[in-house]
A = this chain, B = another copy of it.
Amino acid sequence: MKIPIFTISRQFGSGGRTVGKRLAERLAIPCYDQELIEKIMEESGFTREFVERSGEQMRYSSWIVGALSDRDINGHSIQDDLWSAQFSVITQLAQQGPCVIVGRCGDYILREREDCLRIFIHADMAHRIQRIVQQYGQRQDAPEKRLRDKDQRREAYYQFYTGQRWGEVKNYHLTLDSGKLGIDRCVQVILSALG
């Protein structure tokens, strides 16, 4: 298999973003994550603050209320504009050649592309708690609550815009338990899928 476009979906705290970055380094291809957010902003004219609030940083309850209620007379919301911009940016990035796209429903957006390898990274609660405390330190909320909140938000966002269940095995060519395998072994396994 020649180097494909990789989409990496991941549970919060599973190290999926790190897997994506290391994979991209090994293959000398770009990895789009925060960079992607900036590109979305540039293209759509949204402020950085808004993009961040509508995406990763927002609580599930606030996001779902916003997505369902902040709609104009035509049933259109600012989240829908953000989704359209994201859809367009990811489609364009994929046209530029092999790359790694972390999160942001990349798997769904690029589902029709034959040269796309769709990956999902997950881990059990104990491994994810250990990882987020190491990476982000202690916060006011208990780590388990932070993980559940993030997962719920990602799941709701994904289902709302794709009509599919997040983390469903049939939507991925490869899913990996980073708690069992470790981050570097995950990278190695993905590379071995290329032949």
Which residues of A come within 8 Å of B, CB atoms? Answer: 117, 120, 122, 124, 167-170, 172-177, 180-181, 185, 188-189, 191-193, 195
A193 to chain B: closest residue by CB: B189
Q: Specify which chain B residues have a CB less than 8 angstroms from the CB of A168 in the assembled complex.
A: 169
Min CB distance, A160 to chain B, in Å? 20
Contact A174 B177 (CB under 8 A): yes
A92 nearest CB across to chain B (Å): 24
Q: Taking the nearest CB of chain B, how far is it from the CB of A44, in angstroms?
A: 32
A-B contact pairs, 25 of them (CB 8 A): A117-B180, A120-B169, A122-B169, A122-B170, A167-B170, A169-B169, A169-B172, A169-B175, A172-B175, A172-B177, A173-B176, A173-B180, A173-B181, A174-B176, A174-B181, A174-B189, A175-B175, A181-B193, A185-B195, A188-B192, A189-B189, A189-B192, A189-B193, A191-B192, A192-B192
Copies in the assembly, this chain: 2
Chain B residues with CB below 8 A from A180, complex form: 117, 173
| A118 nearest CB across to chain B (Å) | 8
